Amino acid sequence: MLASRVVSWWKMVTADEGDWDMVDVIETPMPGVGVRYGMTARSGRALGVVSHHTGRRDLIVYDAADPDAALVAVELTEDEGKALGELLGGSRIVEQIQDLVHQVEGLMIDWVRVGEDAELAHETLGNAAVRTKTGASVVALVRGDEAIPAPGPDDQLLPGDTAVVVGTPHAVRALAQLLHSER
């Protein structure tokens, strides 16, 4: 088998419905070229990105009739790829964290929005003791336009914050539960 695997579930919780929207991104190494990421949009179309070792990025739209074949391949420079990512709603943090994911197998990164009535809302990270409880850590908080890259024990988890959570998949799921579930 190829070394394909699901890299990340970009989970996003819509605050009012508590609805989980998961996107499977499949990563396949391409020896000598780089890495290919693929996903199928809800609309049914398959999309992909080939990330070349050289920094070049190819944005691929697959053929609806033959989802293995690239219908359109747009070559982008590293900077253009970043710009497009920003336009599509990514952020630079995502990219940095993705690099981290690539280095460590078995590690999962998740973005979890802190719910209005979550068990841990308004708690400081020190009091919340999430690592003791679940085994996963909060490595960054995103509050509006501001990012708190390495939150300390005194930083609070405010409703509406997005917590960047790192740990084994099991631990991350447990912590995500605490962050969005009601008390």
Partner 1 sequence: MDTASSTLLLELGVVVLALAIVARLARRVGLPAIPFYLLAGLAFGQGGIADVGAAEQFIEVGAEIGVILMLLMLGLEYSAEELVTNLRRSVGAGVVDMVLNFVPGLAAGLLLGWDLLPSVLLGGVTYISSSGVVAKLLADLDRVGNRETPVVLTLLVIEDLAMAAYLPIVGGILFGGSPAKTVVTVVGAMVVVAAVLGMALRWGDRVSSLALSGSSEVLMLTLLGVTLVVAGLAERIQLSAAVGAFLVGIALSGEVASLGRGLLLPLRNLFAAVFFMFFGLSVDPTLIPEVALVAGSLALVTTVTKVATGWWAAGREGIGKRGRMRAGTALVARGEFSIVIATLGVQREADLGALAAAYVISLAVIGPLLSRFADSLATLTDGRAGYPRAGHSRPSV
Q: Give the interface with partner 1 as residue ranges (CB under 8 A).
A: 1-4, 24, 26, 28-33, 36, 38-40, 46-48, 50, 53-54, 58, 60, 62, 65-70, 73
Q: Return all residues near 100 (Cβ < 8 A) that are at least 6 apart.
A: 107, 109, 166
CB of 27 to partner 1, least distance (A): 10
Task: Please say which residue, 40 or 168, places its beta carbon nearer to partner 1.
Answer: 40
Between residues 71 and 147, which has the closer beta carbon with respect to partner 1? Answer: 71
Residue 112 C-beta: closest distance to partner 1, Å? 23
**Residue carrying the six token digits 């199928």:** 40
CB of 104 to partner 1, least distance (A): 14
- 3-state DSSP call for residue 7? strand
Taking every pair of Cα atoms in the chain, the longest distance, rounded to a whole number of angstroms, is 54
Question: What is the residue whose two structure tokens read 């197998």?
Answer: 105
Shortest approach of partner 1 to residue 149 CB, angstroms?
A: 26
The alpha-carbon radius of gyration of the chain (Å, integer) is 18
Kindly tell me which of 1 and 87 has the beta carbon lying closer to partner 1. 1
SS3 46: strand
Side-chain-side CA neighbours of 14 within 13 Å: the count stands at 6
Q: Which is nearer to partner 1, 69 or 100 (CB)?
A: 69
